[in-house]
Amino acid sequence: MNILVISNIYFPDKAGGAEIIAQKLAESLHKRGHRVNVLATSEENCIDTVNDVTVHRVKMENFYSITNKRRGKFLRMLWHFRDIYNSSMKKYIREIVNREKPDIALVHNMVGFSISIYDELKSLNIPFAQVLHDRYVLCPNSNMFKKGKICKKQCFICKLMRLRHVKKTSQASAVIGVSESVLNVTKEHGYFANVPGYVIYNTMDVPKAEHKNWNGTGELKIGFIGTLAQNKGVEWLIKEFARLKINARLTIAGSGYSQYVEYLKGLAKGNNRIKFIGFANAFEFYSQIHLLAVPSLWHESFGLVAIESLASGVPVIASKMGGLPEIVKKNANGLFCFPESPNSLGECIVKLYEKPELLEQMSVNARDSVGIFLNVGKWIEKYENVFREVMK
């Protein structure tokens, strides 16, 4: 098949989990003999090659590009308003379709491209499948998280800014959720009506590694890795850990907006049991901890760090929200905490501190518990099956 992969950001531009998956999928499809082209946004128009996959990078026709530093509130508002339906991005779809003549398009995060690309693909008779990595079609910020709290339903502004999307999404040939959670909530709000829906969990190559379990003596090493942002629950984790009177250490890896990172460091100031290490190689990081915390305050669509950690033999304490309960299983490979019950996070840590045998058993179970998320070959086959259904 001749496949066009659309992703708003593509390596080596700085990316998150969705963009990592888009790259992995594009490269895996290429290795299986498919012809693959990628369309992504960038600072300027250019064509390059990443691991034998051709990447067409186009300038975002908006007030600033996604990879630029954060702008002022007013400019961000204008940016999001234009991103409701940015017709200027249509021409790039037409250009690449006329040049590469794809059989099908696979759309990942379309922030910056906007929903306008659906109209262009439809007018060019290119069937397309949308992969839902987040809640972009429900919320301009993609996360339904505002002022430190989850939005239990679409607010008036989001409904207004996403009104056109309800009808436009029905043009898709298929919609793929990276978890049941993200697919169900999107469908429940009326988007992708009568469009065949599939759940294909994200899959990763995670090498089997030797992991040293905690035996109840010495420091219990707890870790957090990811974006240092309010919705990730790092602040909650720091506060909960700081109040615990146990022999443990918390290591925080990752980066975020400097002002917020400085605020987090201020919370931990004077506590030599909490350490910020900035960027870290994920698998080296997992080899140095006994327990990972994923205390998200929003509905994570899936949670790649939970997969990586468990595949590395490290149990996980996670918020029981979004797609995380589809990965973490209570008392089998981890425990659940609840943002609405702040002490629950500390209670989970203390429980495992006082029951090292439970933590050890979870560690033993960890990799096998996520085996279905580690088979890249079957993962690609599932996408190929969807493509075949769409092509019919």
* 351 φψ region: left (φ > 0), alpha (ψ -120 to 50), beta (else): alpha
Dist CA 234 CA 144 (whole Å): 18
φ, ψ of residue 150 in degrees (nearest 5): -75, 140
Which pLDDT value is given to residue 202?
Answer: 94
Which pLDDT value is given to residue 93?
Answer: 96
Residue carrying structure tokens 């033999």: 313
pLDDT digits (tens, 9 = 90+) for 229-246: 999 999 999 999 999 999
Which pLDDT value is given to residue 209?
Answer: 77
Q: What is the mean pLDDT of residues 107-123?
A: 96
The angle formed by the CA atoms of residues 278, 281 and 283, to the nearest 5 degrees, is 135
pLDDT digits (tens, 9 = 90+) for 129-147: 999 999 999 999 888 888 7
For 240, other C-beta atoms within 10 Å of its C-beta total: 23
Is the pLDDT confidence value at 172 over 90? yes
Which pLDDT value is given to residue 17?
Answer: 82
Among candidates 183, 200, 201, which has minimal Cα distance to 192?
A: 183
Q: What is the mean pLDDT of residues 113-118?
A: 96
pLDDT digits (tens, 9 = 90+) for 192-204: 999 999 999 999 8
Dist CA 106 CA 32 (whole Å): 16
Dist CA 213 CA 389 (whole Å): 46
Q: What is the mean pLDDT of residues 15-33?
A: 92
The angle formed by the CA atoms of residues 77, 79 and 84, to the nearest 5 degrees, is 100
DSSP string spanning 141-197? TSS-EETTEE-SS--HHHHHHTHHHHHHGGG-SEEEESSHHHHHHHHHTTTTTT--E
Dist CA 129 CA 201 (whole Å): 15
Q: What is the mean pLDDT of residues 18-40?
A: 95
CB distance 240 to 344 below 8 Å:
no
Average pLDDT of the chain?
93
Which pLDDT value is given to residue 69?
Answer: 59
Max CA separation in the chain (angstroms): 65
Dist CA 85 CA 165 (whole Å): 9
Residue carrying structure tokens 């099956």: 385
Write 95-98 long-range contacts (CB < 8 A, 24+). 96/4, 96/37, 96/39, 96/56, 97/4, 97/121, 97/124, 97/126
Which pLDDT value is given to residue 70?
Answer: 62
Distances (CA, A) of 341 to 153, 236, 295, 336, 388: 20, 11, 12, 11, 46
pLDDT digits (tens, 9 = 90+) for 357-373: 999 999 999 999 999 99
pLDDT digits (tens, 9 = 90+) for 244-303: 999 999 999 999 888 999 999 999 999 999 999 999 999 999 999 999 999 999 998 998
Dist CA 258 CA 264 (whole Å): 10
Q: Which amino acid is at 247?
A: N
Q: How confident is the model at residue 208 (pLDDT cuts 50, 70, 90)?
A: confident
Dist CA 302 CA 109 (whole Å): 14
Dist CA 211 CA 267 (whole Å): 31
CB distance 334 to 328 below 8 Å:
yes
pLDDT digits (tens, 9 = 90+) for 42-99: 988 999 999 999 999 999 999 888 776 567 888 888 999 999 999 999 999 999 999 9
CB distance 52 to 36 below 8 Å:
no
Q: What is the mean pLDDT of residues 210-224?
A: 90
Strand-pairing partners, residue 318, are 294, 336
Which of 24-38, 43-57, 62-76, 339-353 is the least confident region? 62-76
Strand-pairing partners, residue 222, are 250, 291
